[in-house]
């Protein structure tokens, strides 16, 4: 007894190909081509679904990470953060050491941390002249 999955496969005809007439072989070949086309179509649909689901998974993981960062930010000691920010604003020479602290406290993404570090290196010459991130008025 053949299962539904294998019902498209005519095993008897495949075994006895030598006994088939040319017309029967042509019909079997045409049927096989149709089945291959159908299976190819199903495979393409499945690949599209996999790509779509992979993209959705990536987006959901990003959203989950964002939510986790937001939750941990809610547990932040505001007084400590205030003191770190004040130190950051008041003491230019300590800024390089405070960037990682701010990154940890505020749960910067790697991109945000990289951007802040790049700003720090770009503004270092200005800081020596009294400029920098937050120039004095």
Residue 133, SS3 per DSSP: coil
pTM, 2 dp: 0.41
Task: Say if residue 67 is in the same domain as residue 20.
Answer: yes
Residues 24 and 58 in one domain: yes
Domain hosting residue 58, numbered range:
11-71
> Does residue 39 sit within a domain?
yes
Alpha helices in the chain (DSSP H): 11-15, 22-74, 78-90, 95-106, 110-128
Which comes out higher in pLDDT, residue 28 or 133? 28
58-115 tens-digit pLDDT:
999 998 988 887 776 666 677 888 888 899 889 888 888 888 888 888 888 889 988 8
Q: Are 97 and 84 in contact (CB under 8 A)?
A: no
Is 125's pLDDT higher than 90? no
User: Does 5 fall in a domain?
Assistant: no
Among the candidates 71, 90, 105, a domain finishes at: 71
Contacts (Cβ under 8 Å, ≥6 apart) of 10 = 28, 31
């Amino acid at each position: 007894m053949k299962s539904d999955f294998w019902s498209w496969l005519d095993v008897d005809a495949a075994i006895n190909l030598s006994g088939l007439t040319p017309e029967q072989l042509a019909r079997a070949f045409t049927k096989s081509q149709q089945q291959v086309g159908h299976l190819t179509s199903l495979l393409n649909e499945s690949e599209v679904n996999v790509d779509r689901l992979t993209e959705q998974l990536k987006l959901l993981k990003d959203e989950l990470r964002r939510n986790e960062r937001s939750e941990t930010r809610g547990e932040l000691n505001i007084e400590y953060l205030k003191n770190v920010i004040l130190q950051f604003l008041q003491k230019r020479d300590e800024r390089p050491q405070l960037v990682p602290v701010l990154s940890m406290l505020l749960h910067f993404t790697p991109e945000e941390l990289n951007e802040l570090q790049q700003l720090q290196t770009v503004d270092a010459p200005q800081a020596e002249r009294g400029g920098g991130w937050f120039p004095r008025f």
